[in-house]
Amino acid sequence: MRRPLIIGNWKMNKTASEAAALIRDLRERVPASPNADVVLAPPFTALESARNALGPSSWISLAAQNLHWETHGAFTGEVSASMLRDLDCRYVIVGHSERRTLFGERDENIQKKVRAALMHGLSPILCVGESLAEREAGRTESVVTAQLNGSLAGLTTQDLATVTIAYEPIWAIGTGRAATTEQAVTVHRSIRLFMETGWDSQTASAIRILYGGSVTPQNIESLLASDAIDGALVGGACLDPDSFATIIGAAQTRRA
Ligand code: PEP
């Protein structure tokens, strides 16, 4: 059984001092547990204060929301993998649909980001997902497969050991309209099949596939009831410590 993983994507929310307060609040509500991995992804500017608020060897890990593929140089406004490692990030979100749609990210560059993360010991959380029009045209599987292909082609099974995939249908993000467990499971199964065909069954059965898109305390139990769903990438609900604590609690107490 893969260990559940819950990631809170803060997006462009919380100053450095607000981040520290939110983490203190969250930690008061959530007990440490070896049953689930928990990751917070504050904005770049709050990573240092988040690290300090978490303290050394915290059971909660840090992620960045993006990175640049080069190690250093004339890339104004960008942040490299080694800069993130220096702030004790263990994970990095790559290819979030907001980056794809609002900032023009393409699979070609997403692949470079995945490789840069892996090269510097960061675990990439690769986001994939279809738009509503693509779903309605019956293209969900082909869109998701093309994104996976474009972002992961050429990686070794060893590389994939630290990669996580987040299936995030665009129509479900921030809309309050989550995919049903059945809809998510169908896509998760096709992702696992893609991994098995492209690599091998061991890689396919080891990789964690998260669901993201309007996850709440109300729907997390139903999503986690399927063993095809290994956790959640949570946006809006992770900014409310009570809601996020409930979501984490559901993962910690999930029946094996
Ligand atoms: C996200 O931004 O990755 C996300 C899933 O957002 P929300 O939970 O708010 O839909």
**pLDDT single digits (tens) 92-118:** 999 999 999 999 999 999 999 999 999
What pLDDT band is residue 90 in, cutting at 50, 70 and 90? very high
Instruction: Return the ligand 1 atom nearest residue 215 CA.
Output: 8
Residues 118-172: pLDDT tens digits?
Answer: 999 999 999 999 999 999 999 999 999 999 999 999 999 999 999 999 999 999 9
Query: Ligand 1 pocket check: which of 65, 98, 234, 247 to mutate, most ligand atoms within 8 Å of Cβ?
Result: 234
Domains of the chain: 5-254 (3.20.20.70)
- Separation of alpha carbons 161 and 34, rounded Å: 19
What residue owns the CA closest to ligand 1's atom 1? 235
Look at residue 59 and tell me whether its pLDDT is greater than 90. yes
* Residues in contact with ligand 1 (CB, 6 Å cut-off): 9, 168, 173-174, 212-215, 233-237
* 213 Cα to the center of ligand 1, angstroms: 5
pLDDT at 256: 58
**Mean pLDDT, range 250-255, rounded to an integer:** 92
pLDDT at 255: 72
Question: How high is the mean pLDDT of the chain?
Answer: 97
49 in Cβ contact with 32 (< 8 Å) = no
Residues 181-231: pLDDT tens digits?
Answer: 999 999 999 999 999 999 999 999 999 999 999 999 999 999 999 999 999
Q: Long-range contacts of range 43-48, CB-CB < 8 Å, 24 or more positions apart?
A: 43/10, 43/11, 43/12, 43/13, 43/14, 44/79, 45/15, 45/16, 46/10, 46/14, 46/15, 46/16, 46/18, 46/19, 47/84, 47/87, 47/89, 48/16, 48/87
What residue owns the CA closest to ligand 1's atom 6? 235
* 200 Cα to the center of ligand 1, angstroms: 30
* 131 Cα to the center of ligand 1, angstroms: 14
What residue owns the CA closest to ligand 1's atom 4? 235
Look at residue 57 and tell me whether its pLDDT is greater than 90. no
**What is the helix (H) or strand (E) element at residue 116, kind and residue range?**
helix 107-119
pLDDT at 252: 97
Examine the residue annotation and report whether 168 is marked as an active-site residue of this protein: yes
Reported pTM: 0.97
**Mean pLDDT, range 46-53, rounded to an integer:** 98
Which tokens belong to 205? 């059965």
